[in-house]
Amino acid sequence: MELKQKLQMLMKARNLNGQKLARLSRVSDSEISRILQGKSRPGLDNALRLAQAVGVSLDYLADDRVEVEPAATAEDALSTEDLKLLSACKKIGPEEVQRILEIVRILGYDVAMARLLGMASRPVIERLDDQVGEPRPTLSAGGPQAVRTVATA
Return the HEC string of the chain. CCHHHHHHHHHHHCCCCHHHHHHHHCCCHHHHHHHHCCCCCCCHHHHHHHHHHHCCCHHHHHCCCCCCCCCCCCHHHCCHHHHHHHHHHHHHCHHHHHHHHHHHHHHHHHHHHHHHCCCCCCCCCCCHHHHCCCCCCCCCCCCHHHCCCCCCC
In this prediction, residue 11 carries a pLDDT of: 86
In this prediction, residue 26 carries a pLDDT of: 92
The pLDDT tens digits for 1-39 are: 788 888 888 888 888 888 888 888 899 999 989 988 989
* pLDDT reading at 57 higher than 80: yes
In this prediction, residue 76 carries a pLDDT of: 52
The pLDDT tens digits for 64-115 are: 787 766 555 554 566 777 778 888 888 898 899 888 888 888 877 777 777 7
In this prediction, residue 150 carries a pLDDT of: 46
pTM: 0.45
CATH of domain 3-62: 1.10.260.40
Domain span(s) for CATH 1.10.260.40 in the chain:
3-62
